[in-house]
A and B are shown apart, each in its own frame.
Chain A
């Protein structure tokens, strides 16, 4: 149960549904409407413009709005409104050329690099990086040195500089799609490369390209106006940048001349930016935090005594010990997440407990709620998770109602945690030493030398033979088994009374699994800890646990001592889980028993041997 960020979806989005979803966003609709008005104004400029944009009328010089000239006149005596409308034509024409050039260069190159990989990819990526390292404005001015009058050439050059944006996004998508099994399937089925690229790749990249185009158009319009502001481009073609320069020259005396083209430019760019951002929101899964209101709703639904939104109100599981005598006790725990279809309850009324020195196994398939249960004990549920319980007791004290800060103070001191996946649970940026020493110094108040000595001692204890090398290493420099030992060392270095281990052997090689399990058992006995171990594997349970809790769909289906469960499971589900687990994992006690009887063990006799061993006791 890792809470990694969602992978960006690769599933092609249907055109019609994207448009329909877009139209549900008010901001996006407004931006699109504004953009359509601007496009219409540009296209209809010859009919809408009241005057010839270049017609000079001396009485109109610096004129205030009025007299049929809605926005007044510029410093040369030309009608500003007409120039704005024709300027929109220039602006959009330039943006189309730039985006077209960027698309035509960047997208095929990106698909090629992502699909072919290897040298092609390295070469194209180097070119793209190089283009991004060149201050485009300067090179554009170099190009403009000879071709200043020909704006189209300049806009193509601008497109070349913006092509890396298209390239990067297309390449990333193509790379991801290339690794999808359906592309391999298509190849095996004899579909040609060209066809694969045309159908599968293009469909996967088109939505991000739309986003990129809105963004590129905005940037292109801005840079284009900057060039025109510098005096690049034909003097006889009206443009917004040119008009801004005219306004800038007369800024102090006639500020209105600057105002109109600035508004036109600002509104156009903002509209494009909002279109792009709305599209980006639709095609990417940006995991939004649930609102406070949503969290309160989940909490109320979980805590409701009578069936309302959630129908199942019964508790499951039993308590074996008195609350004061238990190291861990959970009463009627419920965990829920807010989804679009209401509250999703993943833990439903779980009760369990563990005595000092006891080893409790929580067994279930993935999705049974076992990991969520222990995350609640740690008070470290993933974002969006809400937990409600009648009581959570740690070390004989009720802690469920404590403020978060006091709950957090239990961690590292009373409760230790061993995670599932060793590599992703060490911070890649820091050495092992730093990660072990930091809690010892700042949580347990040890001095620097004492903390280092303690870290080294615990590393030796967990079976690391060259502790000094491991302490100096970064996580990527040690093996998975070694990393898991480091994590166990980190968990027990604060001498907790309760150790919670979440599938501590699942991600390890089979040979290392037995060693790590053995180590956990040794440490548990040596330190007298209570060990709660979450697993999907009954082999692990048989190996190490005293009692076991079997979970399914967020509920406890069966609780009892390991021997009884193995012998005589009450629930068919438990029996099924046991037989499924034992098919691939050797249980030490079975093997020992078999060895003692001198009988070679076979697969089909295993279940009988578990029983036989119990009888012998």
Chain B
């Protein structure tokens, strides 16, 4: 079990290293000389040279990379090329907002997705099952921001149940915070809910047809107890999808945040992308990938716990 954990951790760190390094070179390749974007086209050559020296862009690329990597390893993502504020400060301000929306959406997909999946798995071909099939087809493909626009017009503007835009910090008011992240989370979660439910339902049906379920029934176990066995055997696929959804939700949150005017990483990514502020973009990439690595690690632990075969491999 310990070697299993160590292996998974190592693989996560490797992923983090590869993705951030890749993004570093990709960003430099895409942006090229950042000074026109940062200063505007009217800046003089002298002004541009001064900025290049200030942000260290005049050094060789590999030196810049090593500099960034060693600092990033100590959780220091440098300073913004635009505002010269530490990237860390901006991340500390913004990441919690995005994370609360994404985590809330993930919880919603887990709880509702599992519940719907079980009901459909127990009664395949029933009303809910057929509805799920239709809903999963459409909801999975529709982008979160499209759904969020529909929800905003409907619930926030027409019915006025939720605030249309803005964010309330949980320090100010917990209920205000919840109501400010409900609509964004729901818009993000709808697609994930149907995916988790569909996956669990299919796994459920597959496991139900396996031999050991008949044997458990033949021992006289009640339907509820047999269902527990089936659920545990069917859960790995649904858990994997849930972890994949988390990655998707992080990306989707960027656009949804703009719709709801939430001060998360969405608008920061957008503005940094428009002016070519590479340190900010790199910091954002690193932080999101760290969260993905954490979620994947938790997933591996869960999978190992659910199915002991995985541990022994």
Contact = CB atoms under 8 A, between A and B. Distances in A.
Nearest to A144: B273
A417 B219 CA distance: 7
Contacts of A132: 244, 247
B309 to A, nearest CB: 5
Interface stretch (B39-47, B56-64, B133-141, B171-179): B133-141
Interface of A: 2-5, 130, 132-139, 141-148, 215, 218-219, 222-223, 225-226, 229-232, 244, 248, 251-252, 255, 258, 262, 265-266, 269-270, 272-274, 276-277, 286-289, 291, 375, 378, 380, 382-383, 408-409, 411-413, 415-417, 419, 421, 424-430, 435, 438-439, 442-443, 474, 476-477, 487, 490-491, 494
A443 B152 contact: no
B292 A135 contact: yes
Contact of B273 (A141, A291, A494): A141
11 contacts: A3-B210, A133-B19, A137-B251, A141-B254, A141-B270, A230-B270, A231-B270, A273-B140, A411-B217, A425-B214, A490-B215
A300 to B, nearest CB: 20
Given A130-B19, A134-B292, A262-B146, A142 B217 contact: no
A287 B309 CA distance: 27
Interface string B121-160: 0001100000001000110111101100110110001000
Given A4-B210, A135-B292, A142-B23, A130 B18 contact: yes
B215 A135 contact: no
A230 B258 contact: yes
B65 to A, nearest CB: 15
B38 to A, nearest CB: 11
B205 interface: yes
Interface string B231-245: 011000000000010
Contacts of B308: 428-429, 474, 476
Contacts of A439: 219-221
Nearest to A153: B30
Secondary structure at the A interface, as helix, strand, loop or mixed, is: helix
Query: 6 closest Cβ contacts across the A-B interface?
Result: A412-B220, A137-B251, A222-B143, A146-B30, A417-B218, A218-B141
Contact of B210 (A139, A229, A424, A476): A424
A424 B220 contact: no
A23 B221 CA distance: 46
B13 interface: no
Q: Which one of B26, B269, B309 has the highest number of Cβ atoms from chain A below 10 Å of its Cβ? A: B269
A133 to B, nearest CB: 5
A442 B225 contact: yes
Contacts of A4: 209-211
A382 B215 contact: no
A273 B195 CA distance: 13
B82 to A, nearest CB: 12
B154 to A, nearest CB: 11
A52 B78 CA distance: 47
B269 A146 contact: no
B48 to A, nearest CB: 16
A27 B307 CA distance: 39
B229 A231 contact: no
A476 B23 CA distance: 43
Contact of A148 (B19, B210, B212, B274): B274
A430 B233 CA distance: 10
Given A244-B149, A476-B312, A139 B285 contact: yes
A5 B206 CA distance: 6
A421 B214 CA distance: 12
A222 B142 contact: yes
Interface in B265-304: 269-270, 272-274, 276-278, 281, 284-285, 288-289, 292-293, 296
A258 B148 CA distance: 13
A411 B226 CA distance: 13
Nearest to A216: B141
B217 A380 contact: yes
Contact of B281 (A142, A416, A491): A142
B222 interface: yes
Contacts of B254: 137-138, 141, 230
B255 interface: yes
Given A133-B289, A141-B281, A270 B142 contact: yes
Contacts of B292: 133-135
A442 B221 contact: yes
Contact of A146 (B19, B32, B212, B259): B32
Contacts of A273: 137-138, 140-141
B252 interface: yes
Nearest to A288: B125
B221 A443 contact: yes
Contacts of B259: 248
Nearest to A247: B149
Contact of A287 (B15, B137, B205, B296): B205
Contacts of A258: 149, 153
Contacts of A142: 23, 26-27, 30, 273, 281, 285
B142 A262 contact: no
B250 interface: yes
Contacts of B142: 222, 266, 269-270
A409 B27 CA distance: 67
B145 A138 contact: no
Contacts of A408: 217, 220
Contact of A139 (B23, B218, B272): B23
B211 A289 contact: no
B24 to A, nearest CB: 10
Interface in B180-221: 202, 205-206, 208-212, 214-221
Q: Which one of A145, A218, A491, A494 has the highest number of Cβ atoms from chain B below 10 Å of its Cβ? A: A145
B248 to A, nearest CB: 8
B143 A145 contact: no
Contacts of B312: 476-477
B79 to A, nearest CB: 17
A181 B290 CA distance: 45
Given A148-B273, A288-B125, A438-B225, A443 B309 contact: no
Interface string B101-131: 0000000000000000000000011000000
Contacts of B51: none
B168 interface: no
A258 B296 CA distance: 38
Nearest to B218: A417
Contacts of B146: 222, 225, 244, 262, 265-266, 269
A413 B222 CA distance: 13
Contacts of B216: 427, 435
